[in-house]
Amino acid sequence: MAHVHTLSRRDARRVAIRAQLLQRERPTDLLSMVRHLTLLQLDPISAVAPSADLVAWSRLGSSYSPSDLRAALDDRRLFELRAMVRPAEDIALYRADMAAWPGTGELKDWQEFRRDWVLANDRCRRQILDRLRDAGPLPSRELPDTCEKPWGSTGWTNNKNVTQLLDLMVQRGEVAVAGRKRRDRLWDLAERVYPDGPVLPVEEAEQERDRRRLRALGIARVRGPEFPVEPADVGEAGEPAVVAVEGVRGEWRLEPALLDEPFHGRTALLSPFDRLVHDRARAQDLFEFEYQLEMYKPAAKRRWGYFALPLLHGDQLVGKLDATADRKAGALLVNAIHQDVPFTKAMAAAVDREIADLARWLQLDVRRISCV
């Protein structure tokens, strides 16, 4: 029977921070950082900066330039898969799932629905493939919408059929994002985008993804909340662990190599989509950190701000920064600094330094509106 590790909350926090490369010693380059973290999440919201760039800046510091990410995507060292940037070699971990789409074994209702919807629109699917074969890469607006069965959705847009079909064709391994022109994704045949190489069988690939995810998270549940695209749990990867804190339940798995390493913390501003905080239940259990992304709330009902950045100090999440990049005014507007714990002078100074560094990286001046 495997040894079960018993961790204090502080031990668990430090494992998670080490795994996410948020200690004082920073990673040295973008590619090795993404390989370790396994992904950067793309998101169109850029109230401060795009999330993928914020995650990279939080690790690499102001030596990082968004042009580095664009270059790595352009030359295919990194690739985009379902709004996640991943190392090019990792496509081998997804190809077997693509070939088995919509899944193996007994299908769930939603899997059957998507399979049937694609079948009902097979003529459109084949026309998109033909168009890309002849003229790709192309933006979605230049692809034909001849779907016979519309995609039912609230918030309907004229191009919803095509974008939904493209997403499912990505999952089938037929098309891929070949690049971007401004904010538009450019689509092409997957065979012209993805690198050649051996494909891992479905079960072996899933186990390897679990291992890599645990290495990036440090500590995670065997089974956790469901997230689209990227799970938060890690199956049987690593070794079993218990977080010995009243109220923290569930089966945990640990990357044991991270447990006994020395810890050298620092202060960091994080994206709301940062993997340290992305699983809100885990952040609550390990860091006692309450957070909710509030951009979809009416302004009067927001507690922390439209795109509040979690504040990491040492081995604790200590607050949120409500800030906005006003590029026309040339200013990083600091609307509020919300303190979850009372800041010492040293903590306040460290947070101020990070805000100043963020502003320099954005090539903006800091302008304080108010502080809470």
**Per-residue pLDDT tens over the stretch 92-146:** 999 999 999 998 889 999 999 999 999 999 999 999 999 999 998 999 999 999 9
Predicted TM-score (pTM) above 0.75: yes
pLDDT band of residue 155 (cuts 50, 70, 90) is low
Q: Which of 154, 159, 157, 114 is nearest to 138 (CA)?
A: 159
Report the phi/psi class of residue 52: left, alpha or beta, with left for phi > 0 and alpha for psi in -120 to 50: alpha
Percent over 70 (pLDDT), the chain: 97
Stretch 200-218: mean pLDDT = 96
Stretch 312-337: mean pLDDT = 97
Instruction: Note the pLDDT tens digit of each residue in 222-256.
Output: 987 788 889 999 999 999 999 999 888 889 999 99
- State the average pLDDT for the chain: 93
Q: Which residue has the tokens 């401004």?
A: 182
Stretch 154-177: mean pLDDT = 84
Q: Can you say how many angstroms the Cα of residue 308 is from the centroid of all Cα atoms in its chain?
A: 16
Q: Which of 326, 322, 327, 329 is nearest to 355 (CA)?
A: 322
Instruction: Note the pLDDT tens digit of each residue in 39-80.
Output: 999 988 889 999 999 999 999 999 999 999 999 999 999 999
Token digits of residue 59? 């690790």
| pLDDT score at 157 | 46
Q: Which of 372, 197, 350 is nearest to 268 (CA)?
A: 350
Q: Is the pLDDT of residue 156 over 70?
A: no
- Distance (Å, whole) CA 13 – CA 28: 23
